[in-house]
Amino acid sequence: LIEDRMDQEYMPYVRFKKYWEESVAQKGIQNASMFYPLVKVVGWKAITGLVIAIVIEVFMSNVGMVIALDKFLSHLEWLERESYNNPGEQICYLEATVMIIIYIFGVPMIFRTATIIVHLLDGYYTNVCAAGMASVVFEKAMSLPVGSAPPDPNDEQVAGYYEQNQKPNVVQLLNVDIIECWGYLLKTIVYIAVAPLITIVLFVMLINKIKLAGLLGVLYIIPCTLCTMKGMGYNIRAWIKYQGYQDERLRWLTETIIHIRTIKSLAWEKLSFERLHKVRTKELEQNQICGIVSGFCASIGHTMPWGTMLLAAFVSLSTEGYLQAHTIIIIQRLMGSLLHATSIMLSGAHKFV
């Protein structure tokens, strides 16, 4: 991240370390929590702004656009009926023009603006937290003997050789995990908190639109969600194995590079290659399993919008005998928003697990 992570001018590291030491002093090293240092580093103003921006983004994307589309299409149908009932009377399109400006352009622009703010705030502060955490882990790991090895005096000396060979391997593994896990983490937390509320609002709108047919259509989501959650559980176990094999491969590869002269002198090249190849094969197998299961879950998710919409439309036609044209469009948009909120909760739960 920087040339010298011990630099006292490196503010993410300095602030995070300060709050972490305060948490350790208050609760002890075993009971200390990372939550307090992270909240203090981000600050309540930034957290409040991020929450407000995410609420606006999610509401406008999943609820606001549905309401805007419903209002606009209903007004167009009203204009068509007025034109049919009063053929000689001139129709005023001023209201339709204003609705286009507000609903068709205004709502999406508010959504896009909120999305930009969310990505800027979340990207900046998650990187700050990850940088501070990685620096603290690095400093702590420098005093650990795990995986550290002194440089071989017979090897060629290059710039930074001594420092590179004295760094424990655990730092590499922890830093990679920190950077990967902290991407968009703040946004994901707020998404998970807001998504259930958005789901309730959308569900009420769907029931209000097509009554019982909406409830029966939503029931299609239940078996799909259960299958997806089952697949995610299996995928998580495979991903844990994949990470374990990857860590083992990196550790063995590092040891091979460090002790390459010893391996060559004892003619252990074949043994070293076979061991490394075996671990690499297991790593690829688990990675392939993760890809297959993820594809299976994604394929189930693609059937949910059309499955719920077709089931709801079929029930509505069977009970009422008709279904308005713009209602079909609104149902499809509602189902898409419901599934988007569901996917937010599932992906967030998957990331935290």
Q: Is 150 helix (H, G, I), strand (E, B) or coil?
A: coil
Residue range 127-181, pLDDT digits in tens: 777 777 777 777 777 766 544 444 555 555 545 444 444 444 566 666 667 776 6
**Nearest to residue 252, comparing CAs of 282, 228, 231?**
282
* DSSP type of residue 168: -
Flag whether 267 is in a domain: yes
Flag whether 291 is in a domain: yes
Is the pLDDT at 214 greater than 80? The verdict is no
Tokens read off for 24: 């350790």
Flag whether 189 is in a domain: no
Which bin fits 147, alpha (ψ -120 to 50), beta or left (φ > 0)?
left
Q: Do both 168 and 31 map to the same domain?
A: yes
Is there a contact between 211 and 313 (Cβ–Cβ < 8 Å)? no
In single-letter form, the type of residue at position 22 comes to: E
Q: Is 267 exposed, middle or buried (0-12, 13-18, 19+ CB in 10 A)?
A: exposed
Q: How far apart are the first and last CA of the chain?
A: 27
Total tally of structural domains belonging to the chain: 2
Q: Which of 191-205, 271-285, 332-346 has the lowest mean pLDDT?
A: 332-346
Q: Do both 175 and 213 map to the same domain?
A: no
Q: Do both 345 and 236 map to the same domain?
A: yes
User: Of 148, 183, 218, which marks where a domain is finished?
Assistant: 183
Flag whether 193 is in a domain: no
Determine the Cα–Cα distance for residues 7 and 17; give it in Å rounded to an integer. 12
Q: Do both 213 and 168 map to the same domain?
A: no
Flag whether 69 is in a domain: yes
**What DSSP string describes 280-318?**
HHHHHHHHHHHHHHHHHHHHHHHHHHHHHHHHHHHHHHH
Flag whether 192 is in a domain: no
Q: Do both 231 and 162 map to the same domain?
A: no
The number of angstroms, rounded, from the C-alpha of 77 to the middle of its chain's C-alpha atoms is 40
Alpha helices in 4-106 (DSSP H): 11-27, 35-42, 44-59, 65-85, 94-99
Flag whether 278 is in a domain: yes
Residue 226's pLDDT is what? Answer: 85
Q: Do both 45 and 108 map to the same domain?
A: yes
Q: Do both 125 and 40 map to the same domain?
A: yes
Residue 352's pLDDT is what? Answer: 64
Residue 162's pLDDT is what? Answer: 44
* DSSP type of residue 62: I
User: Of 129, 148, 183, which marks where a domain is finished?
Assistant: 183
Q: Do both 109 and 224 map to the same domain?
A: no
Q: Output b/e per residue, 71-88; b: 16+ Cβ within 10 A.
A: ebbeeeeeeeeeeeeeee
Determine the Cα–Cα distance for residues 215 and 344; give it in Å rounded to an integer. 21
Q: Do both 175 and 249 map to the same domain?
A: no
Residue range 51-82, pLDDT digits in tens: 888 888 888 888 888 888 888 888 888 888 88
Flag whether 191 is in a domain: no
The number of angstroms, rounded, from the C-alpha of 41 to the middle of its chain's C-alpha atoms is 21
Q: Do both 297 and 215 map to the same domain?
A: yes
Q: Do both 244 and 321 map to the same domain?
A: yes
Determine the Cα–Cα distance for residues 102 and 332; give it in Å rounded to an integer. 22
Q: Which domain holds residue 219?
A: 209-353
Q: Do both 172 and 273 map to the same domain?
A: no
Give the residue carrying structure tokens 């503010």: 11
